[in-house]
Chains A and B, each alone.
Chain A
């Protein structure tokens, strides 16, 4: 069964500090991995997408890494801001054949940035 596990479940950090969120998956055959940011009361919004051949991808202060061999990804947030307070969801896509794919969602990490 395809699974996506995220850690930690929740995290509190001081404004200006860095943090790293983890995502481990057992999805196969792997297509890509996305990190979504979900603000309270809003729908998820894509931050980055990573394919099998990509190791690192940045989007501003967000940097995602992917190790396809160990099936692990991380999302690093640099110089955190209050607006980074949100849930971060790891979503892994598996190829299901016939040109279609299936998404498996992690439960998310709830990040709180405090002044």
Chain B
């Protein structure tokens, strides 16, 4: 998985609790992304980062926040988890966002269940 790890890989939590997912890369890529994948939907972008402390919203950012204090780490936080946030979350990385051939490399995913 191209030097990308996600932790935890599985998590079960209760509604209303805070949850933080971590993505760690060893490729020194500038761009990092968080997606969610749900049945009946394609991968949907939650947030992305284009550098340390530089982040922006994706199409489904409500209820999520992110932080990037180091090049290699990108954190996704659910401040107060809801059942609608039950999903599989994927982290991805890319060297740049400006190249038309730029490939995103995906991590192994985190399966989150909110009861």
Check if A49 sits within 8 Å of B103, measured CB to CB. Answer: yes
Main secondary structure of the interface of A (DSSP, over half): strand
B100 touches A89 (CB 8 A): no
A41 to B106, CA, bound (A): 12
Question: Please, which residue of chain A has its CB at the minimum distance from the CB of B35?
Answer: A105
**Chain A nearest CB, measured from B43 CB (Å):** 4
Q: Is A43 an interface residue (CB 8 A)?
A: yes
Q: Is the interface on chain A under 10, 10 to 19, 20 to 34, or 35 or more residues?
A: 20 to 34
Contact call B106/A45, Cβ cutoff below 8 A: yes
Closest to B91 in A: A43
In the complex, what residue of chain A is closest to B90 when comparing beta carbons? A43
What are some 7 contacts across the A-B interface (CB < 8 A)?
Answer: A43-B90, A44-B43, A46-B103, A51-B100, A89-B43, A101-B98, A104-B42
Q: Which residues of B contact A (CB under 8 A)?
A: 1, 4, 40-45, 90, 92, 97-98, 100-104, 106-109
